[in-house]
Amino acid sequence: MAVNCGVAYGLCAARVTELDSEGNAEGDFAVSRNPVSVAFNPNIDQGQQFISRNGCGCAIARIRSNDVFNWFELTFTQESLQPELESLLVDGETPILDGADIVGANGGSALECEEDPRTVGFEMWARHYVGSGQDSIHRFVHWVFPRSRWTRGNNTVQEGVARTNITGFSQTNQLWGSGPYGDGPPDGQDVTEWAYWKSNDEMPDAVACGDLGTVTPGS
């Protein structure tokens, strides 16, 4: 089967998966079909520079040590209010209920020293386009950040539609494997830092607004 070289277009879905303190997928998940953007910018520790000179100031040797990738700085933005996803995503928040429905989020205080921060797996999907249409072989591009930690970003409510901004950073997760949903890398590789691949798997269905899905562990 041939592989077409296309482009990633749009942002069609995002999925957040609850992790336990060790990094296993466990508990709840939420899917948004209304994300606006996800920025992921690498945090790089630049290598040291060393220049050796002779007595006349001429360079004898020029050395630079390797750059080191630390993590991705993440920013997630959407316009629809989806407190079930937000309270799962943001460290320290708890959902506000109206009966069985999640209708809001309640911000938490600073963690105690012995408390573990909340971390989640974060995934997103874009359409894969070749020429003027969606690729028929691999319709989507699927990104995975197997562990991440998030907090509220800068948010403004004003005349117009208010956007929700949440910022975070990625972390290593040696226990994500190929993910708990059966739509991981097609060759079964484990994902520990981050990954993306072209895929013909269907995007995840949106969980009903005000509700959460339950993770079935397994990778």
Residue 145's pLDDT is: 98
The mean pLDDT of 98-105, rounded to a whole number, is 90
Query: CA 41, 113, 87, 191 torsion: positive or negative?
Result: positive
Categorize the per-residue pLDDT at 116 as very low, low, confident or very high, splitting at 50, 70 and 90. Answer: confident
Q: Does residue 178 surpass a pLDDT of 90? A: yes
38/163 Cα distance (integer angstroms): 13
For residue 39, the one-letter residue type is: A
The mean pLDDT of 154-178, rounded to a whole number, is 92
The mean pLDDT of 171-199, rounded to a whole number, is 95
Q: Does residue 219 surpass a pLDDT of 60? A: no
- pLDDT above 90 coverage of the chain, percent: 73
Cβ proximity of 43 and 70 under 8 Å = yes
> β-pairing, 94-98 with 25-32?
unpaired
- Cα 120 from chain centroid? 8
Cβ proximity of 211 and 156 under 8 Å = no
Categorize the per-residue pLDDT at 117 as very low, low, confident or very high, splitting at 50, 70 and 90. Answer: confident
What mean pLDDT, rounded, does the chain reach?
A: 91
- Given its phi and psi angles, is residue 150 left (phi above 0), alpha (psi -120 to 50 degrees) or beta? beta
For residue 163, the one-letter residue type is: R
pLDDT, tens digit, for every residue of 26-38? 999 999 998 999 9
Q: Does residue 218 surpass a pLDDT of 80? A: no
pLDDT, tens digit, for every residue of 48-95? 999 999 999 999 999 999 999 999 999 999 988 999 999 999 988 888
Residue 92's pLDDT is: 84
